[in-house]
Amino acid sequence: MYTTQFFPLFKRHLFLCRYMKTFPYDFNANTGRLFKVTDPKLGKRHKRLCIIIFLYMTTILLSLTLGNTSVPMKMIGFVFILTYCVPAPSQWNYKLEITSIQVLNSFMDFETKVLKDLRKMGMSLTARAMVFFMQVAQFSMIAVPVSGFALTVVQPCTPPFLLSIFQNCEKISWFGPAAVLPLFELGIGLQLFVTGTVWIYFGLFVSVVTLQNYFRALDSQILASVTSEEIKSVVQKYRAIQILEKYLNEWLKQAIVPSVIILVPTLQIVSQYVCIEMHNEIAMPGFLIVPLLVGDAIVVNLVVFTLASYVWTSSTRVIINIKRSLREELRRSAIKKDLRACSILKIKFGSNFIDRGTPLVIQNFCLSQTMQLLLIKSAAR
């Protein structure tokens, strides 16, 4: 549940966003709702940050592709660029739209008004796993820019960072103006990952587990239902969850799900290749971030997408249980007609959706592409 199980993590993340001074949204403890900050200076800072991040990403991408660095160094730079590209689409909000907070407010309102009697339900195994992963993910969002900063200090010529653009990067003095660039990139990285991962973590990752918690609540209510009014109440709650799913998919399919389902598998492929083939060519402590990225990518591709597929299977199970609970005299009633309006819920991407086979297909693709890269490298020696 947003308001119980994941709320401490959400408050911690919002505290970090508030500390960044560029996040245009906040949480009101009195109303229990997210709101858009009305301070015009904060909105202007966020817009300037969007432009700066876009220019920075364009600069490091051009320097990596057009630079004269070696292929191994370009692969290392490509890992960092992919990592930075994952939160970039969700961070970009130049028009300061409020779709994200409207969707999350709808979930929290549903829990406090419709499921208020079931909010004290115990945590499921999937919820516990997601809480643990969220703690690791919140550590990773700090570790990635900090490791980039450390790698720049140890090896200033490491692409794709700005110091690698200069020809005399190996002879840079840290007591001059050059020391400003790593600090600037550290600030940009923290802004991008802290404010850009909010909606990935709590809009996609947490939402899929929350929907399953709702289905668990409906399953328990179905078992306790005896009268037709109780069964009708279950159907009405399911239709309310169906509306939440429509809101969620309309928001996620714009940028978040496409970026995650395209960039994270690509990041896993490249990171696995760099971790296996180039572990001797990356100085410590910068190399430590590569295994962390591999682990995060595998968890997202395998665990998070599996949990997203459970939305489809759980909603199917609930509808079957409702049909089984209907007595013979109720099968031609208005409840049966309402049940026909209940569709199977799913997390969509494009015209398709995430089913039980999606995580295995993605993982098989990542492993096969990594093996092909290793075979090509070994054949070229």
Structure tokens at 35: 């709101």
Give which of 203, 185, 56, 195 is closest to 138, Cα–Cα: 195
Residue 325 included in any domain? yes
| Residue the block writes with tokens 């409702």 | 322
Tell me the pLDDT tens digit for each residue of 61-70.
Answer: 998 888 787 7
Mean pLDDT of 139-159: 86
Can you tell me the distance from the alpha carbon of 279 to that of 287, in angstroms, rounded to the nearest whole number? 7
Buried b (16+ CB within 10 A) or exposed e, 290-327: bebbbebbbbbbbbbbbbbbbbbebbeebbebbeebbe
Enumerate residues 6+ apart whose C-beta is below 8 A from 172: 156, 163, 166, 178
Can you tell me the distance from the alpha carbon of 339 to that of 232, in angstroms, rounded to the nearest whole number? 9
- β 25-28/33-36 pair status: antiparallel
pLDDT averaged over every residue in the chain = 85
Can you tell me the distance from the alpha carbon of 75 to that of 358, in angstroms, rounded to the nearest whole number? 27
Mean pLDDT of 346-352: 82
What's the DSSP call for residue 342?
P
Residue 183 has pLDDT above 50, yes or no: yes
Residue 294 included in any domain? yes
What's the DSSP call for residue 123?
P
Residue 331 has pLDDT above 70, yes or no: no
Mean pLDDT of 250-272: 91
Packing angle, helices 40-66 and 71-85, rounded to 10: 160
Number of domains forming the structure of the chain: 1
Please give the residue range of the domain that contains residue 18: 7-37+97-141+186-379
Q: How confident is the model at residue 31 (pLDDT cuts 50, 70, 90)?
A: confident
Tell me the pLDDT tens digit for each residue of 103-126.
Answer: 999 988 888 887 776 656 777 788
Residue 148 included in any domain? no
Residue 274 included in any domain? yes
Residue 161 included in any domain? no
Instruction: Flag the least confident range among 8-22, 208-222, 225-239.
Output: 225-239
Kindly list the distances between the CA atom of residue 164 and the CA atoms of 14, 81, 281, in Å, as whole numbers in the listed order. Answer: 34, 14, 16
Residue 175 has pLDDT above 90, yes or no: no
Residue 147 included in any domain? no
Instruction: Give the model's pLDDT for residue 219.
Output: 84
CB 219 within 8 A of CB 318: yes
Instruction: Flag the least confident range among 198-202, 224-228, 360-364.
Output: 224-228
Residue 32 included in any domain? yes
pTM of the model: 0.89
pLDDT-above-90 percentage for the chain = 26
In this structure, what are the phi and psi dihedrals at residue 307, rounded to the nearest 5 degrees? -65, -35
First and final CA of the chain: distance in angstroms? 54
Q: How confident is the model at residue 329 (pLDDT cuts 50, 70, 90)?
A: very low
CB 3 within 8 A of CB 113: no
Residue 230 included in any domain? yes
